[in-house]
Structure formats: C-alpha cells, structure tokens
Structure 1
Amino acid sequence: MSLLCPVILGSVRSDRQGIRAARFVVRALEARGHGAPLVDPAELKLPLLDRMYKEYPKGEAPKVLEDLAGLLRRADAFVIVSAEYNHSIPPALSNTLDHFLEEYFWRPSAICCYSAGAFGGVRAAMQLRAMLSELGTPSIPSLLPIPQIHKALDEEGKPAEERLARNAGKFFDELTWYAEALRARRASGTPY
C-alpha cells in the first residue's frame, strides 16, 4: 500500500553532507512504492519563525508555508534527516519543523541521523525524539544512524557498503507498519 512520506532535511550549509542521506532515504522509500518528496529548507528558504502557520489569518500565510502545510496534511508519515550540531539538531531543522503543529498529528516519524564521526548523529536524534513527540509525530523505535557520512554515501546517496542498505530495511519496514496502522486509525477518527 503506497504511503506519502515527506523527507525533511535539516541542513542548509553550503557543503552539507545530509543531502546524501536525504537522497538515500528518498530512493529507498520510492523503491518501496511510496511517495517521498524532499522538504529541503535550503531550497524553500523558509522565513525564521516569527509566527506559526496556524497563526496567520486564513489565506494570508506565505505561499511557501501554505504549500508545505498542504503536503504535511496529506502525509502518512515523516522521515527526518538530521545532522548533529554540538550534540543537538541543526537550527534549520528546528525552524522548518516549528512552523507547523496540527499538520503532524497522528502520524509517525522516523529519524535518519548522520555525522562525520563514529556516532552517526545519535545524540541529536535523542533530542529530536522529544521534539517530534511534542509536535504530535512520535518517532518509531528504530533509528537509521549514518556514521562517517562522507564515506558511507556518495554524492547521489548510494551506499559504499551493502550494510547500510540492509540496516535500512528494518527501519523502513517499521516505519511502513506504523504509518499504515496510524492511517487506518485516522480514517476511523482521532481523539480530537
């Protein structure tokens, strides 16, 4: 069953490595028959958060926010691709996520984290889990950490080793299960 799973990238740096992970995730989701549009803050050029999307009078939100809100409302799940900056998440990721709230409700999220070092961004992922839960899109139990991203994936997001693709299989199986389960429950109503 096809799902819509936007892939939300968190870095806007000019030499960012996360685009490799985002391309890998998009390709893996599409190979499973899912829609995986990339939400790239470097391309969207979202304003710094002054007011949330829902705080604009109807029809007065900037077009970029209106379009993104529509995508998020149609989504079945989200995959967040996060670097680790100072043991935390990148500011561009926080800015992208914080513009919205209700659009995330009752949909699971999954975290793909990465770093240049050996830990693969897991310290940022732990903080991101709390944030995603508060936004109403709790993360699945599995993580997809990518240590030494500059070696693990090429520019197009193709893995250097088969191990990453194997590890990703469980991650995407779990995300699919949660997304299908929550989509079925949303269809029969939500608590509010």
Structure 2
Amino acid sequence: MTERILVFYGSYRSDRMGIRLANFVVKGLRERGADAELIDAKAIGLPMLDRMRKEYPKGEAPAAMEDLAQKIIAADGFVFVTGEYNWGLQPGLKNLTDHYLEEWFWRPAAIASYSAGRFSGARAALAWHGTLSEMGMVVTSATIAVGPISQTLSAASEPTGPGGEALVKSFPRFADDLMWWVEAAKAHRARKLPPY
C-alpha cells in the first residue's frame, strides 16, 4: 500500500522562494512511490487562530479546516518545509498547524528548511523540532537545509549549481529516514491502538 505524505508549506509572501523546495520534496517523494500532496497554508487560508478544530461543536468547523483535518488524519507522515523569520518560525505555517492537535498524533514528521542566506533556515528547523514533538509527532533526525535557496533551486524547482548538487545528494537519506518511520509507525498502529 502506498504511504500518504502531506508536505506543508507556510509562506504568505508575494515572492515566495520556499515553494521551490516544497515542490522539489513533493516530486522527490512521488518518484520514490509515495502519495505526496502539497498543503500550502496560503492556499488553505485559515484565519488567525481563534479556535482549534476540536473547540468547534461537531460539524461546525469551517469547511477548509475540516477538509484539512481529514487529510491530516488519513496521512501516514508529514514534511514541514519552513523558512526562517528572524531566527524563528514562519507565522503562516505555525498558525496552520496550531488549528489541530490530536490529528497529528502517532505519525512521523521531517523538516526541510531554507533561507535566502547561508544558514539555510537551520534555526527555524531547530524550533520546529520541539514544536512538532510537543504536537505528538516523532521528528526524524535527517533534515534538509537549503540556502541560499535562489542559488539552489530554479523557479521550476530544479536543482542548480553546487547547492543543487548537495540537495540531490542529501535527499535520499532524508526520504529514507522519513519513510522508515512512516512504515514503522503505520505497522505498529495496525497492531496496537495508540494509548490515547
């Protein structure tokens, strides 16, 4: 059975560069046989967090929120593609994730970070690691860090230059780590129900 992977991207900027990395990751996972789907926070358009999905009376959550909840629940794993904003988390992606909690539980997540500079979003990736763990996900150890993104991926999400070569070289380990945890978690959930 094909593993279902959701790839989350959260920039709301008009000139979004990170979408290049998100598309690269989706394509790479699909080429490896995964059923990967891009979830673009800007396209989903959830409002600033007022109430989590679980805080709405049953059947009264906004349609976009409920639709995404069902995708999260049906997924086997996640990739979070994150830019770094002032050493921290992207607000659009954080806002989207905070609408949910139990929906994330008992599945693995991988982090792919990027920035315009040489630090490649590493500080945001570090911040996401603790956040995703708190939200009930197992965070894989293999990460991708891309920077400067404009010199690593073209507008068509094709690897370019030395940074692109490094990304292509690092992607298999990133994907293998994620898929190992996806398969392990999926098999264990089939054998034994999560404790809560």
Aligned residue number for residue 179 of structure 2: 176
- In structure 1, C-alpha distance between the alignment counterparts of 2:48 and 2:82, rounded to whole Å: 18
Q: Percent identity?
A: 47
- In structure 2, C-alpha distance between the alignment counterparts of 1:3 and 1:119, rounded to whole Å: 32
- In structure 2, C-alpha distance between the alignment counterparts of 1:158 and 1:35, rounded to whole Å: 20
**Shift of residue 41 of structure 1?**
1.2
Task: Identify, as 1 or 2, the structure richer in strand.
Answer: 2
Aligned residue number for residue 4 of structure 2: 4
Gaps of 5+ in 1: none
- Further displaced range: 133-142 or 68-77: 133-142
Q: What is the 5 A alignment of 1:145-164? A: 145-160=145-160, 161-164=164-167
- In structure 2, C-alpha distance between the alignment counterparts of 1:33 and 1:119, rounded to whole Å: 31
**Shift of residue 156 of structure 1?**
1.9
- In structure 1, C-alpha distance between the alignment counterparts of 2:181 and 2:84, rounded to whole Å: 25
- In structure 2, C-alpha distance between the alignment counterparts of 1:24 and 1:162, rounded to whole Å: 13
1:27 equivalenced with 2:27 (yes/no): yes
Regions of 4+ moved over 3 Å: none
**Shift of residue 172 of structure 1?**
0.2
- In structure 1, C-alpha distance between the alignment counterparts of 2:46 and 2:116, rounded to whole Å: 26
Q: Deviations over 1:72-117 (max 9, x none)?
A: 0000000000000000011101101100011100000000000011
Contact 1:106 1:137 in 2 (8 A): yes
Give the letter aligned to residue 175 of structure 1. Answer: L
**Shift of residue 67 of structure 1?**
0.3
Give the letter aligned to residue 138 of structure 1. Answer: V
Q: What is the 5 A alignment of 1:33-182? A: 33-160=33-160, 161-182=164-185
Gaps of 5+ in 2: none
Structure of higher RCO (CA pairs closer than 8 Å, 6+ residues apart)? 1
Superposed CA RMSD in Å reads 0.9
